[in-house]
Chain A
Amino acid sequence: MATLKTPSKLEKILAAGHLAVTSECGPPRGSDPEAITRKAEMIKDHVDAINITDNQTSVTRLCSLASCIHIKLMGLEPILQMVVRDRNRIALQSDILGAASFDIFNMLCLSGDHQSFGDCPAGQNVFDIDSMQLLQTVRRMRDEGKFLGGDEIKRPPRMFVGAAANPFADPFEIRVPRLAKKVAAGAEFIQTQCIYNLDKFEKWMQGVRDRGLHEKVHILAGLTPMKSAGMAKYMKNRVPGMDVPDEVIKRMSGVPKEQQPQEGLDICVEAIQRLKEVEGVHGFHIMAIEWEDKVPELVERGGLYPRPQVD
Chain B
Amino acid sequence: MIVAERKPIEEIIDYVKDKQTILVAGCNECVTVCEAGGKKEVGVLASALRMYFMNQGKDVKIDEVTLERQCDHEYLEEIRNVIDKYDAVVSIACGVGVQFMAEKYFSTPVYPGVNTCFMGVTEERGVWSERCQGCGQCILGRTAGICPISRCAKRLLNGPCGGSSKGKCEISKDVPCAWQLIIDRLKELGRLDDYEILAPIKDWSTDRAGGPRTVVREDVRL
A8 interface residue (CB < 8 Å to B): no
> Are B170's CB and A113's CB within 8 A?
yes
Q: Given A177-B196, A241-B165, decide whether A133 and B201 contact each other with a Cβ distance below 8 A.
A: yes
Taking CB atoms, residues of chain B closer than 8 Å to A184 are: 196, 198
Complex CA–CA separation, A226 to B166 (angstroms): 24
A136 interface residue (CB < 8 Å to B): yes
Q: Given A240-B170, A241-B170, decide whether A113 and B163 contact each other with a Cβ distance below 8 A.
A: yes
B22 interface residue (CB < 8 Å to A): no
B167 interface residue (CB < 8 Å to A): yes
A171 interface residue (CB < 8 Å to B): yes
Interface centre among B161, B166, B196, B199 (most CB of A within 10 A): B161
How many residue pairs bridge A and B at CB < 8 Å? 97
The minimal Cβ–Cβ distance linking A16 to chain B, given in whole angstroms, is: 30
Contact of A116 among B171, B184, B199 (CB under 8 A): B171
The minimal Cβ–Cβ distance linking B159 to chain A, given in whole angstroms, is: 7
A15 interface residue (CB < 8 Å to B): no
Complex CA–CA separation, A116 to B169 (angstroms): 12
Stretch of A19-27, A122-130, A151-159, A283-291 lying at the B interface: A122-130
Describe B's contact surface by its main secondary structure: loop
Interface set, chain B 141-165, CB cutoff 8 A to A = 153-165
> Are A241's CB and B164's CB within 8 A?
yes
A111 interface residue (CB < 8 Å to B): yes
Q: Given A111-B154, A130-B157, A130-B159, decide whether A174 and B170 contact each other with a Cβ distance below 8 A.
A: no
B177 interface residue (CB < 8 Å to A): yes
- Number of A residues near B (Cβ < 8 Å) is 35
A73 interface residue (CB < 8 Å to B): no
Contact with B along A152-183 (1 / 0, CB 8 A): 00000000000011100111011001101100
A132 interface residue (CB < 8 Å to B): yes
> Are A170's CB and B164's CB within 8 A?
yes
B75 interface residue (CB < 8 Å to A): no
> Are A129's CB and B183's CB within 8 A?
no
A-B contact pairs, 29 of them (CB 8 A): A111-B154, A113-B170, A114-B170, A116-B153, A132-B198, A133-B157, A133-B158, A133-B199, A136-B198, A136-B201, A148-B201, A164-B162, A166-B162, A169-B165, A170-B165, A170-B166, A170-B167, A171-B164, A171-B180, A173-B192, A174-B179, A178-B158, A185-B198, A193-B162, A240-B163, A240-B164, A240-B165, A241-B163, A241-B170
* A contact residues vs B (CB 8 Å cutoff): 85, 89, 111-114, 116, 125, 127-133, 136-137, 148, 164-166, 169-171, 173-174, 177-178, 180-181, 184-185, 193, 240-241
* B contact residues vs A (CB 8 Å cutoff): 153-167, 170-171, 177, 179-180, 183-184, 192, 195-196, 198-199, 201-202, 204
